[in-house]
Amino acid sequence: MAVLSSNNRDAAAYPIQSLFVPFPFVCFTLALATDIAFWQTNNLMWQNFSAWLLLAGLMFGVVAILAGLIDLVRPRTRPLRPAFPAAFLYLVILALAVLNSLVHAGDGWTAVVPYGLTLSALTFVLCLAAAAVSARKYARLAWRI
């Protein structure tokens, strides 16, 4: 029976930022869902949920950026680092989320409809684009294309 093992120096280390990047994506997606719920029901509870989800997503986004900066100084994470377009999209997503959080700081209907809902939808679309760009790099890395 053959045991497959690799030299630890040759193996790529798992990037720390990969642990934190999914949290903002989930929070911003749920913020879009709660914005749609507020638009349909006009219940202020959904606006509060959106504001808290945006805050949580921004906090985890900052932690992900700090972890990404740590990964930049770790040479073993080089093969698994996100490509430049994905990193740029992450920063644009966080900038839109900050703007969206400022819009949601208002009171009532005008805090969500139409600008907050539009910013949440745009943030969600950019999250999908960033995931697609990242998945493409990881697929090429896995298949060595």
pTM of the model: 0.85
pLDDT tens, N- to C-terminus, the chain (145 residues): 555 545 555 456 788 888 999 999 999 999 999 999 999 999 999 999 999 999 999 999 999 999 999 988 888 887 777 778 889 999 999 999 999 999 999 888 888 999 999 999 999 999 999 999 888 776 666 665 5
- Chain position carrying tokens 């790529």: 12
User: Encoding tokens for residue 22?
Assistant: 């999914």
**Residue among 84, 23, 81 at smallest CA distance from 54:** 23
Domain extents in the chain:
17-143
